[in-house]
Amino acid sequence: MTASLLTLADSRLPAGGHTHSGGVEQAIAAGLVRDPASLAAFLLRRLVTSGAVAAGLAAAACRGRNLPVLDAEADARTPSPALRAASRQQGRGLVRVGRRAWPSPLWDALPAAPHHPVALGVAAAAGGLTPRDAAAAAAYLSVSGPATAAQRLLAMDPLTVAAVTARLAPEIDAVAEDCLSRADGELSADTDPLLDLLAEVHATRGDRFFAS
Amino acid sequence: MRTRVEVVARRGPGGRTVLPVVRGSGQLAVRRTGPSAVHLVATAFGPLGGDDAEIRLVVEEGAVLAVRSVAAAVALPARDGDRPSVQRVLAEVAGELDLRMEPTVVARGAHHRAGLTAELAAGAVLTATEQVLLGRTGEEPGRWTGTTRVVADGRPLVHTTVGLGPGAPAWLPPVAPRAYASTVHVGQAAGVLTAGDAVRLPLDTGWVATAWGAELHTVVRAVEAVA
């Protein structure tokens, strides 16, 4: 591991992730997230579905697999238009800061406005990181941003929310490990229809704080 | 037990569909029930854990095929160990495939893995439904894992895996449904539609609709309402 991984997973990296709640805003509106226990359950279901998919894509992109092909696979694993838009927005944001932070010809192989995990894998490779690092960053980011969003929306105790996220460390590691131990080229496609529904209901609201 | 089914639908003289290959072995027999329709008939209880079924469907250009089953399948645990039962549907479609089987009920302690892999040529039409109930009446839920991958004209259109039941990592209260239904359609586009516990998402020239809840009959109605 190098310090690049810490930078990549840092919420202060200005890639635009702070404007997204990962479905937490709508989960709160639907009464599914109310307190630390229900937040932990929500983060876990997000981690093992979209987090696992993101980890697999990021590791594969870091490994140098064909990026437009991976981007199309990301689309197929993200049928919700709201979630696709959120992923591509964050991908574009990461490319903008990543190109400056870790200049490399690798960026040129990305399609325009790539899915975030694909851009994340390229950022990891450009920063000299391994596919395992890329997977870990993707898995971690799938819960860290939503946890912060819940803290803000519910005015939760920051120490409690930090502890909820920290206690997911074994599950985050397991997700990152799992995508490396899969058979050659097989990418997770785990999905949670609940997250699709929440994202699409959220997209129609006029009173939202977060973009997704 | 190993089950193999193969059906080929071909455009015949005058544009009518003929079925040059209709073959079943293991736990499924295939019956022609219409000029372009077959029913799968279970010839044994199950599937049991460890059973492996592969259903190959080929619908050539200009042909139409409807595939049904005669009764719900009840997936039961392996007699020894905790191996899942597996059913893979592999479809190659250049014509029109309509795949609507009866529900799968997953008994307590069983794990059933269902897969649909469809390769569509340009202009192909596909409708495929899935209906799942975890546990028989008064029984604890079993576990179900379903993967759908549709590739249209060489491009992946949708690829998702849904895991339900105890042990599935994202099957967590308060949203841990016993009943689930999903329909994927390619041929005619439709936009986003949401309902209580149901959602329709657009695909290029198609859509995928999903619903979940406590009772299968209400979930099936919900998925039909957004389909």
Using one digit for the tens of pLDDT, what is the confidence trace for A38-89?
A: 999 999 999 999 999 999 999 999 999 999 999 999 999 999 999 999 999 9
Banded model confidence at residue A182, pLDDT cuts 50, 70, 90: confident
Domains of chain B, by residue range, sit at 2-175
Domains annotated for chain A, with CATH where assigned, are 20-203 (1.10.4190.10)
Residue B100 has phi, psi (to 5 degrees) of -135, 95
In Å, how far is A72's CA from the nearest CA of chain B?
7
Q: What is the pLDDT of residue B173?
A: 87
Q: What is the pLDDT of residue A16?
A: 82
Give the pLDDT confidence of B46-68 residue by residue, as tens digits.
899 999 999 999 999 999 999 99
Q: What is the mean pLDDT of residues A91-96?
A: 97
Question: Does residue B47 have a cis peptide bond before it, meaning omega lies within 30 degrees of 0?
Answer: yes
Strands B104-106 and B73-75: parallel
In Å, how far is A189's CA from the nearest CA of chain B?
5
Q: B204 CB contacts (<8 Å, ≥6 apart)? A: B152, B155, B157, B189
Banded model confidence at residue A176, pLDDT cuts 50, 70, 90: very high
- In chain A, % of residues over pLDDT 70: 99
The single-letter code of the amino acid at B26 is G
| Total residue length of chain B | 227
pLDDT at B5 over 90: yes
Inspect the interface and report whether the beta carbons of B149 and A188 lie closer than 8 Å: no
Helix, strand, coil in percent for chain A, rounding step 5: 70, 0, 30
Which of A194, A195, A201, A205 to probe by mutation at the B interface, max B CB count within 10 Å?
A: A194
Inspect the interface and report whether the beta carbons of B156 and A80 lie closer than 8 Å: no
Inspect the interface and report whether the beta carbons of B201 and A81 lie closer than 8 Å: yes
Helix, strand, coil in percent for chain B, rounding step 5: 5, 60, 35
β-partners of residue B127 are B98, B185
Say how far apart CA A128 and CA A179 lie, in whole Å: 19
- Tell whether B18 is within 8 A of chain A (Cβ): no
Inspect the interface and report whether the beta carbons of B210 and A73 lie closer than 8 Å: no
> Given phi > 0 = left and psi -120 to 50 = alpha, else beta, which region is B109?
left
Alpha helices in chain B (DSSP H): 216-226
- Tell whether B154 is within 8 A of chain A (Cβ): no
- Tell whether A196 is within 8 A of chain B (Cβ): yes
Alpha helices in B20-64 (DSSP H): none
C-alpha distances in Å from residue B133, one per residue of A28, B73, B109, B115, B116? 28, 10, 14, 16, 18
Q: What is the pLDDT of residue A17?
A: 84
- Tell whether A79 is within 8 A of chain B (Cβ): yes
Query: What kind and span of H or E run contains A79?
Result: none
Query: What kind and span of H or E run contains B67?
Result: strand B64-69
Q: Radius of gyration over alpha carbons of chain B, in Å?
A: 17
In Å, how far is A190's CA from the nearest CA of chain B?
4
B28 and B45 in contact (C-beta within 8 Å)?
no
- Tell whether A191 is within 8 A of chain B (Cβ): yes
Inspect the interface and report whether the beta carbons of A41 and B173 lie closer than 8 Å: yes
Banded model confidence at residue A2, pLDDT cuts 50, 70, 90: confident
Q: What is the pLDDT of residue A18?
A: 87
Q: What is the pLDDT of residue A1?
A: 57
Give the pLDDT confidence of B176-202 residue by residue, as tens digits.
999 999 999 999 999 999 999 999 999
Inspect the interface and report whether the beta carbons of B159 and A200 lie closer than 8 Å: no
- Tell whether B167 is within 8 A of chain A (Cβ): no
- The lowest-confidence range among A126-130, A181-185, A196-200, B106-110 is A181-185
pLDDT at A11 over 90: no
Q: What is the pLDDT of residue B90?
A: 98
Q: What is the mean pLDDT of residues A136-154?
A: 96
A81 and A17 in contact (C-beta within 8 Å)?
no
